[in-house]
Amino acid sequence: MYDLNSEFKDKVCLITGGSSGIGRGIAIDFGKAGAKVIVADIQEKSKIGKYHDTDIKTTTSEEIKKNGGISEFFECDCSDEKSINGLISHIENKYGKLDILVNNAGMHIPGTIEDISVKEWDKVVNLNLRGIFLLSKKSIGMLKQSKSGRIINIASIHAFHGVLGPAYAPSKSAVVNLTKNIAITLGKYNITANCICPGYIETPIQDYNTQKEISDYKKTLPLNRFGKPSDIANAVLFFASNKSDWITGAYLIVDGGDSAS
């Protein structure tokens, strides 16, 4: 756990998809560590799930402020270039820099290559992959000013095997490769880029599963529990910290042993 006197104090941190799920957990922990947290999402209200996050009563920024941190919400469709331009301009005008970019926004539409529409495929890929490309590209100038900029992308263990739909898994696989490309290109500016590949995390994005499927899947995990957003936040804060200064272009699987079993 990082405290308010940590290295993150007063650093400017952008979390996309920060209103709920993994992004909410990451944003709250950065707030506790003293960072100035910009929560970017298509809506501010946290998503209430059928099985997880069923009793959230505060927005992410409200929760950060309640804990004594600094945060604001900015409405942004992270698949839309115009919306991203507005977000980047806001950060430049208000903060003048960006130290940490966490590309977390993502989505999944169930289906197979036989039944998913081209429009649905584009929707998933545009958010999961194109959005990361655009946000990373347009943040380079501010990350350079940081002198030690950090880009952390959220992929998935499904990046490594072709399940969970013809759009989601390929988009997450591409995120891992894009992260490596960003790391190679931006290393000369002392900007690192790394990737987290979560397994099953207790968030509303899992609502497409039935309760029985969730229960059966849990029994297959070596650690016999699902991950929590805080498990991913711990990994993200590590990649954002000076403890990872010589790590770039890497991916870290955080899945409770799922991919090993």
168 is catalytic: yes
Q: How many residues does the chain have?
A: 261
Report pLDDT digits (tens) over 21-62.
999 999 999 999 999 999 999 999 876 555 455 557 799 999
**How big is the CA angle at 91 (ends 88 and 93), to the nearest 5 degrees?**
105
Domains in the chain, CATH or no CATH each: 5-260 (3.40.50.720)
Task: Tell me how far apart the alpha carbons of residues 189 and 142 are, in angstroms, rounded to a whole number.
Answer: 11
Considering 2, 51, 95, 168, which one is annotated as catalytic?
168
| CB neighbours of residue 61 within 10 Å | 23
- Determine the pLDDT at residue 4: 46
Task: Tell me how far apart the alpha carbons of residues 133 and 214 are, in angstroms, rounded to a whole number.
Answer: 32
- Determine the pLDDT at residue 29: 97
**How big is the CA angle at 202 (ends 50 and 156), to the nearest 5 degrees?**
120
Low-confidence ranges of the chain (pLDDT < 70): 1-5, 47-55, 164, 205-209
pTM attached to this predicted model: 0.93
